[in-house]
Homo-oligomer: A and B are copies of this chain.
Amino acid sequence: MGLTRERIVDAAYAVLDEQGLSGLSMRRVAQDLDVRPGALYYHVANKQELLAEVAARILDGMPVAADARRGACDLRDALRRVRDGAEVVSFVLAFRPEGLAPSRAFPGLFADRLPAREARWAARTLVHYVLGAVAEEQNRTELVRTGIVADEPGRADEADEAFGFGLDAVLHGLGRG
């Protein structure tokens, strides 16, 4: 069965969901595809490029939001769908600014009342907030999973409430409250 870029991204995504970002190695992906590590490099330049592809897939199903609040909630949902989703997207955003869906779509959600560069800043503020909040949530989940920290009852509910609180504040401050 021929190796393709797409099959590699599929396998990487599966490893991410099962093992988390720390378990996502090129060697592990290769092993799952019954192939030697070197073979991957015929289809993908390096691990960064593969991670960028995985990040794009995480954000792929995001609907086109009608307003900033929906956009933020859709982003949160997309990130939460896979283990360590926020961490992966943050990492890719670091070396591929403007490469991912929200960086392109979110400024438009502020363009009606803000000049272009301020709309970009507003979009970044919102994205930073969502990524930070979801990353904290998922890292907590990771710590619970490893047993380093005990699970608390109502943790998920509090996370939702806390996210809502911060989102309301950020949106209000950006003129959408």
Report A's interface with B, CB cutoff 8 A: 90, 93-95, 97, 118, 121-122, 124-125, 127-129, 131-133, 135-136, 139-140, 143, 148, 161-162, 165-166, 168-174, 177
Contacts and interface: CB of A to CB of B under 8 A. Distances in A.
B118 A148 contact: no
Q: Which of A90, A161, A166 has the most CB of B within 10 A?
A: A166
Contact of A166 (B128, B131, B140, B168): B128
A136 B173 contact: no
Contact of A165 (B90, B93, B121): B121
Nearest to A134: B128
A69 to B, nearest CB: 13
